[in-house]
Amino acid sequence: MSVQWQNQELEINGARLYVARSGGAEQPAVILVHGFSDNGRCWPRLSADLAKHYDVIVPDARGHGRSARIVPGEKTDPTADLAGIIQRLGLERPVVVGHSMGASTAAQLGARFPDHVRALILEDPPWRPYPERPALLSMKPGNLEAEQMKPPPAAAPTPDANPLKRWIESLEGLTVEAIAEENRAEYPGWPRDVLLRWSQAKQEFDRNFFLRKEAHPMGWPEVVDAIRCPTLLITSEPDRGGIITPQLAQEVMERNPAFTVVKIGGVGHHIRFEAYDRYRDAVFEFLEKLDRSEG
């Protein structure tokens, strides 16, 4: 039976955010948090499969899908927005699943709002190794740890230097079909309906997203160290476009025993688009283990 989605607009932190919900509030809740330039409709298969067992909530982030547009220079806090959705809907410690940018938001939710989250599932978050800092070798251990928490120093790039911005601009004026056709060669294994949803999301993406200011930037080591709930990190192949390297995944597990890592080979950054069955199996195995441990 198909899912009868309920659509809502919620006033969260001064912005109207669009949320789809599968219903079934008596069931445990799962939130799906999309990545950069995607939207909630980019979870078609996982949302349908999860809705058989869970109350599934799928928001559009600010500047994405049908949610509020962004004012240039506006300070945004997607983690606080997500916490606001959980509070407004009265959700009791949902499992939060995120991809890429959405995985980063989900992880920060676990770090900053630990009482809001039952568990996390992170699909290839944008965490990268920090460059070596030779000067750190002479630091005392306490200072060294604090320094390692900080993102690497770098000059703030201008929006025009952002390769993602240039890529989005290259899609201006194209139809959904044309965007799909232009990217089909790069993503030959994606199902057609998934590619079309992903392409439509690019048309609905707010270009002012590149002109926002981040309210609470956090380096990934700080986030990882603060998470206390069970967390599944799903990784892929860096040579096919995956972000999380095996070395970084190993460091994450060494820093925090709450993490479990599952690598899905032969695919890139959009793991669930390229290898859905293996991705789904990893997600449900983690959820079933979570239910048993809490039962």
Q: CA 125 to CA 220: how far, in whole Å?
A: 9
pLDDT of residue 1: 57
- Crossing angle of helices 192-204/176-184, nearest 10°? 120
- Give residue limits of the domains in the chain: 6-294
Phi (first) and psi of residue 125, to 5 degrees: -65, 160
**How many CA atoms lie less than 13 Å away from 115 in the CB half-sphere?**
3
Q: Write down the pTM of the prediction.
A: 0.90
Q: What is the pLDDT of residues 157-177, one digit of tens each?
A: 555 678 999 999 999 999 999
* Chunked mean pLDDT (size 10), the chain, 295 residues: 86 97 88 98 97 97 98 96 97 97 98 98 93 41 39 53 90 96 92 97 97 90 97 97 97 98 97 98 98 87
Cα–Cα dist 290/246, whole Å: 24
In 117-255, which ranges are continuous DSSP H helix? 141-149, 163-170, 176-184, 192-204, 220-226, 246-255
What is the pLDDT, as a whole number, of residue 157? 53
For residue 194 the two structure tokens come to 């998934």
**pLDDT digit string, tens, across residues 112-141:** 999 999 999 999 999 998 764 443 333 333
Under 8 Å between Cβ of 281 and 262: no
Fold annotation for 6-294 = Rossmann fold (3.40.50)
CB atoms within 10 A of CB 291: 11
Instruction: State pLDDT tens for residues 70-84.
Output: 999 999 999 999 999
> Quick one: pLDDT at residue 22?
95
